[in-house]
Structure 1
């Protein structure tokens, strides 16, 4: 080891922090280019005169990171993303190679268990997944309880939670907290059975949600078809003999499923882990992830692209639209990404897949508008300087539309394959070294200090935007009832 100040000394894997409030110096270890947030709890200082006690200055520094912009919450072996270089790898394999040579279920095996399966392993895994695609007959009543115009994501989210009610052996609340964390052969077998059930039934429940909208009878999963082939069959079969989905569409959907299977700790995967950290059953955790994916900033992005293209209309309207985007009057959907700062590697694969689909479906009428928008944005310094390149959602929505899926079904087509990624991360967390600790983020409290309770007669009304409930305008039967008189009717005194 070199002397202090020695230029030839080996660099230390640590961070030296000086607290200018106290003059104290702290050494924070660095491991895997990261530091432990809890290490800063030792950095304490006395309260300044007049400082709020809620700052908890004497209890150590907290790390503020609104929106998890640079906070690592897991050590993971599953997916690697380099947003600057436009790199996406599943378990070390470039997404481009997997999209070209693999398929969704083989990639699912890879994400879950860490290696590509042998021929026999792949065949057994596919067999078990498809075997577990059949739903209990009671499920028909559950799905029929939704209105015909219910959003399919609302149905699917509810269905995942509903599904967990069938399997008491999968519920740590009933079987004990270590049900999935002890890593014994019995525990692993139980865990993997639930994984097979969830992947297998995801397509079946999605198809049932789809057919609720149409008022059609539900279809039992067929035998002899692939995962995506079986899904298309359940969506569309109406009694035809020897019905087989188009192989081009089947392959395209499989590629899209593979590309959407995982994307590291995105909003929905993080939701699954946050929920799973309480040791809830995997069905409830996946339902929570599905609810997160429902949001327009996540799973609804490809739907937003189509709505944007419809609003633009013709290619000649693109320049005016982009100018409106610059004035922040319009939103440019399908460009840019929270992680990717150059290009989304999945977008190139999806663009090629789109060409194959259009050969059999015909070109979507919005394709020319999409291409004009793509070309114009990529030549405009306003967008290129902000690294707003097309992402996977820009082209995938056009494929779904060309295949005849309604717009509100697009998020479902995202959720079904993402079940694999959710379960891969959930399984990894259950088996992580040191066990599972419930996730409990800190906050920075900036509200009122301690206050004394005031009797209602002595209170002064607080008014203003966000300070009181918004007034509700009643109409129809509620309005008439409020104007009526009847026994027991009282007026609030508050």
Structure 2
């Protein structure tokens, strides 16, 4: 599917008896938009759209959602097709690179995620400061924010560094979630293992212990994997908008993601 906007006939706006021409576009899913980028410079006016209910903040070729019609597509692929035939790591690669991985690319990306799943040992002490019964999202937001102090970013980011940041986040959030659960029930932390794939690794960290192996159930692994796929991206929702706004200040990426978690 093409990810290019189609230029349509310009719209005409009349203000104070003057006519202004505004570009209009059609997206790949048939959505139409008026480009008001130059509106203020040309007219002195701004638009008022309380809650941004009628505003598209950016162009995107990643996700399309129509909740009323039950449509969700990642990179043009229907969610039904991805949920049935792909795994979460493959979908993550698709969202990141724009195409599904071949076997070599999948192995390389999966290995990178596994190698990025460990969090700094000193971060573990933070879990001890939360009251028992603390809300999981509050813990997650705090822990992700703390990672900004352990993983400072270079001033200049190249493509590989950007991919590594994504790998860290995708892997370390899973580890934080499992550690949070273990702390909430008073059990020892279980570290990630190279023996398991992404979702199986998460379940093993959640439910195994030094004195009890966790027997992975294929149906449960598949169900969790499908849930992760369904929630992998939700277009320009509140969290995404918060991340984009915080990111525009060039803040540390962990702090930026924390804004999305808290939104």
Task: Give the TM-score normalised by the residue count of structure 1.
Answer: 0.49
CA contact (8 A) 2:92 2:232 kept: yes
Q: Which residue of 2 aligns with 1:237?
A: 208
The alignment's C-alpha RMSD in Å is: 1.8
Matched, 1:17 2:13: yes
1:275 positional shift? 0.7
Residues 258-304 of structure 1, C-alpha deviations (whole Å, 9 max, x = no match): 01101101111111111111111211111111111xxxxxxxxxxxx
Kept in 1: contact 2:22–2:36 (CA 8 A): no
What pairs with 1:54-133 in structure 2 (closer than 5 Å)? 60-133=44-117
Normalized per residue, which structure has more strand?
A: 2
| Partner in structure 1 of residue 4 of structure 2 | none
* Residue 259 of structure 1, aligned match among 208, 230, 233: 230
SS in 2 for 1:67: helix
Give the number of the structure whose alpha-carbon radius of gyration is greater.
1
- Residues 133 and 201 of structure 1 are in contact (CA less than 8 Å); yes or no, is this contact kept in structure 2? yes
Counterparts of 1:133-282 in structure 2 under 5 Å? 133-168=117-152, 170=153, 175-176=154-155, 179-180=156-157, 187-240=158-211, 242-282=213-253
CA offsets 1:408-431 (integer angstroms, 9 cap, x no match): xxxxxxxxxxxxxxxxxxxxxxxx
Give the drift of 1:40. Answer: 2.7
Cα distance in 2 between the residues matched to 1:74 and 1:142: 37
Q: In the alignment, is the contact (CA less than 8 A) between 1:105 and 1:227 conserved in 2?
A: yes
How far does residue 12 in structure 1 lie from its aligned partner after superposition? 6.8
SS in 2 for 1:138: helix
Q: In 2, Cα distance between the equivalents of 1:159 and 1:210?
A: 13
Q: CA deviation at 1:140?
A: 1.6
Secondary structure of 2:250's counterpart equals: coil
Task: Quickly say closer, same or farther: Cα 1:244–1:69, change in 2 above 3 A.
Answer: same
Q: Is the Cα contact below 8 Å between 1:134 and 1:220 reproduced in 2?
A: yes
Can you give the 5+ residue segments of structure 1 that lack an aligned partner in the other structure?
1-10, 45-59, 181-186, 293-494
Shift of 1:83: 4.0
Partners of 2:219 and 2:256 lie apart in 1 by 34
Deviations 1:447-492 (A, max 9, x none): xxxxxxxxxxxxxxxxxxxxxxxxxxxxxxxxxxxxxxxxxxxxxx
State how 1:324-363 maps to structure 2 within 5 Å: none
Deviations 1:51-103 (A, max 9, x none): xxxxxxxxx22111111111111111101123453221100101000000001
CA distance in 1, matches of 2:166, 2:144: 12
* Superposed displacement of residue 42, structure 1: 5.1
Give the Å deviation of 1:38. Answer: 3.5
SS at match of 1:133: coil
Q: Is the partner of 1:17 in helix, strand or coil?
A: strand
Offset of residue 36 of structure 1:
2.5
Alignment partner, residue 39 of structure 1: 38
Gaps of 5+ in 2: 1-6, 27-31
For 1:189 and 1:280, how far apart are their aligned partners in 2?
19
2:35 and 2:173 map into 1 onto residues whose CA distance is 37
TM-score (norm 2): 0.90
Superposed CA deviations along residues 181-200 of structure 1, whole A, max 9, x for unmatched, are xxxxxx11111111111111
Shift of 1:43: 6.0
Q: Distance in 2 between matches of 1:79 and 1:281?
A: 25
Instruction: Name the CA distance, whole Å, in 1 between partners of 2:68 and 2:131.
Output: 45
User: Equivalents in 1 of 2:215, 2:105: separation in Å?
Assistant: 26
- Deviation, structure 1 residue 149: 1.8
Distance 1:255 1:153 in 2: 21
Deviation at 1:242, TM superposition (A): 4.7
